[in-house]
Amino acid sequence: MSEVEIPEVDYVSGSGVPIRGNDIDTDQIIPARFMKVVTFDGLGEFAFFDLRYEDDDTPKDHPFNEERFQDSSVLVVNANFGCGSSREHAPQALMRWGIDAIVGESFAEIFAGNCLALGIPTVTADSETVEAIQEWIDEHPDGEIAVDVEAETVTYGDTTVDVTVDDAQRKALVDGEWDTTALMRANRNATRELAESLPYVDLES
């Protein structure tokens, strides 16, 4: 097996940014018109664009527009975040804005999978816990939030709460096996040998 450096993601910390509201879908996270790009570079500036700006580009009242949250890296959301289409541009936009971890009540399954592919933990807690973290962030915009993926806790201020990390996601992040593309690339010879041994795979066509 070839050596490949995939960082372990067992702990993420940084200041927080609260995005309130249930059922925030991927079209709200990154509108479709910004997906016509060759690479994901630059998508960060378009995160939540239609929620942040009027048609004439006048800024709306939105956390991503607030100066106090510009260096935040832990996003705290409510229920069913990332629902809608399966576009991988949504977590790409959040990552390129600066988000390293997301705490929420619940996530759409495909969105959570796309986050995992980027090494972004999506950890869950009940609504009261999430709302308490959001309120604390509003009062302490520069305060640190620590997401311990391995221990399944979130610490903010003097408070530590239990959160849930999907078992498969937790193992992949903690063991440094979340970047499946890099793993396949590093083991491309073994992958090809396996494919060649399968009678139903025709590599010549």
pLDDT in tens, 83-118: 998 888 999 999 999 999 999 999 999 999 999 999
* pLDDT on residue 87: 85
CA distance 51 to 149: 30
Give CA 77 to chain center in angstroms.
Answer: 11
What whole-number distance in Å separates Cα of residue 113 and Cα of residue 93? 15
pLDDT tens digits, 41-87: 788 999 999 999 999 999 999 999 999 999 999 999 999 999 998 88
Spell out the domain ranges in the chain. Answer: 11-176
**Distance in angstroms (rounded) separating the CA atoms of residues 71 and 177:** 28
DSSP string, 20-82: --S--BHHHHS-GGG---SSSTTGGGGTTHHHHB-TT-PBPS-GGG-GGGTT--EEE--TTBT
pLDDT: which is higher, 83 or 194: 83
pTM, rounded to two decimals = 0.85
Structural contact between residues 130 and 110, judged by C-beta atoms closer than 8 angstroms: no
Report the CATH number of the 11-176 domain: 3.20.19.10
On the question of pLDDT at 5 being above 90, the answer is no
